[in-house]
Amino acid sequence: MVEGQYGTTSNLAARGALHARYATRDWFGWVHERVALRDGEAVLDIGCGAGWLWDRPGLPEVTLTLADRSPAMVEAALGRAQVAEKTGAVADAEALGFAAGQFDAILALHMAYHLAEPAEALAQMAPLLAEGGRLALSVNATGNLGALWEIAAECLGLPPMDPSVAVFSDIAAEAALVAAFGQVERHDYADLYVVSEPEPLVAYLSSLPEAQEAGADATPAIRAAVDAALERGPLELPRRSALFVARG
Ligand SMILES: C[S@@+](CC[C@H](N)C(=O)[O-])C[C@H]1O[C@@H](n2cnc3c(N)ncnc32)[C@H](O)[C@@H]1O
């Protein structure tokens, strides 16, 4: 998955572009407000992707470790993060080699559904937190991008729901964190994207693993399904995510 899907930043960027184009709210700013990092804290962002969370001025002066299984993501995140004290690490969230008690905060945003055993991996992060430290985990929630998955079902043969929710839903994530940490705060995030242009949808669908495997052969079917959906009017896509903050 990581090598094929995240070997470069382009698939993630195609999906991020849909959010950037149509979001009416600032997801990453919302996450920062809730995690409330402080100057001097040691922070691990595991599955950091292209580092979009850190691409803003005025962040607290944390000591940041940007970690991802994909070297290309680590490099992109290091280039983007507007934090003075930052290091990169190519690391697997299921086998983290950090010392116990090393971090005041661990962030795992929209990545746990890629893990073979997400609940176990989250439990193994708990000892890495210093006393009073917190783990912030986000996942997509039920209903996320609803009608987009109906189009994906038509042109790529996927089940008509967000595949990440099918693998590790908000409900499963909450249960895993309660089991590992005892207590967890849940914050729900909602937005509505009103999409009338085909290109961001075509790019999003073309970035999915199933489309990538089919290569150029998938493009005509994706375009036809997107055009047919937009002929009925703008698509209203709910964005649904959940952010959990668990304390060590
Ligand atoms: C959907 S992206 C999310 C990126 C970023 N956290 C964000 O919210 O924008 C998922 C990221 O998790 C990374 N990833 C997948 N499996 C991983 C693993 N086992 N360990 C570390 N990173 C992983 C991928 O390479 C990718 O960069």
Of all protein residues, the one whose alpha carbon is nearest to atom 16 of ligand 1 is 114
**Overall average pLDDT of the 21-37 stretch:** 98
Specify the 3-state DSSP secondary structure of 26.
coil
Region 6-14 average pLDDT = 95
User: Does pLDDT of 3 surpass 80?
Assistant: no
Ligand 1, atom 13: closest residue by C-alpha: 47
pLDDT mean over 188-214:
96
Is the pLDDT assigned to residue 2 strictly greater than 70? no
Q: 4: pLDDT confidence band, cut at 50, 70 and 90?
A: confident
Residue nearest to atom 11 of ligand 1 (CA): 47
Model confidence at 166: pLDDT above 80: yes
Whole-angstrom Cα distance, residue 136 to residue 83? 19
What is the band of 214 on the pLDDT scale with cuts at 50, 70, 90?
Answer: confident
If you measure from the C-alpha of residue 232 to the centroid of ligand 1, how many angstroms do you get, rounded to a whole number? Answer: 35
Rounded CA-CA distance 214/145 in Å is: 23
Mean pLDDT taken over the chain = 96
User: Is 80 exceeded by the pLDDT of residue 112?
Assistant: yes
3-state secondary structure the chain: CHHHHHCCCHHHHHHHHHHHHHCCCCHHHHHHHHHCCCCCCEEEEECCCCCHHHCCCCCCCCEEEEEECCHHHHHHHHHHCCCCEEEEEECCCCCCCCCCCCEEEEEEECCHHHCCCHHHHHHHHHHHEEEEEEEEEEEECCCCCHHHHHHHHHHHCCCCCCHHHHHCCHHHHHHHHHHHHCCEEEEEEEEEEEECCHHHHHHHHHCCHHHHHHHHHHHHHHHHHHHHHHHCCCEEEEEEEEEEEEEC
Rounded to the nearest whole angstrom, what is the distance from the C-alpha of residue 57 to the centroid of ligand 1? 23
Q: How many whole angstroms from 38 Cα to the centroid of ligand 1?
A: 24
Residue 16 parent element (H or E): helix 10-22
Could you read off the pLDDT of 53-101 as tens digits, one per residue? 999 999 999 999 999 999 999 999 999 999 999 999 999 999 999 999 9
> Is CATH 3.40.50.150 what the domain over 2-142+162-191+239-247 is classified as, yes or no?
yes
What pTM was computed for the model?
0.96
For residue 34, pLDDT beyond 90: yes
Whole-Å CA distances, 240 to 138, 162, 193: 11, 10, 11
- Ligand 1 centroid to 167 CA: how many Å? 15
Q: How far is the CA of 65 from the centre of ligand 1 (A)?
A: 14
Q: Which atom of ligand 1 is nearest to the CA of 45?
A: 6
pLDDT at 171: 97
pLDDT confidence of residue 213: 87
CA–CA gap between residue 206 and residue 199 (Å, rounded): 10
Q: What is the pLDDT, as a whole number, of residue 130? A: 97
Which residue's CA lies nearest to atom 26 of ligand 1?
49
Position 159 scores a pLDDT of 94
Which pLDDT score is estimated for 174? 98
Whole-number Cα distances in Å, 150 to 55, 103, 162:
32, 41, 10
**85-90/129-140 β-pairing:** unpaired
Per-residue pLDDT band at 217 (split at 50, 70, 90): confident
> What is the residue with the minimal CA distance to atom 10 of ligand 1?
111
> Token pair for residue 81?
């993060």
What percentage of residues in the chain have a pLDDT greater than 90? Answer: 95
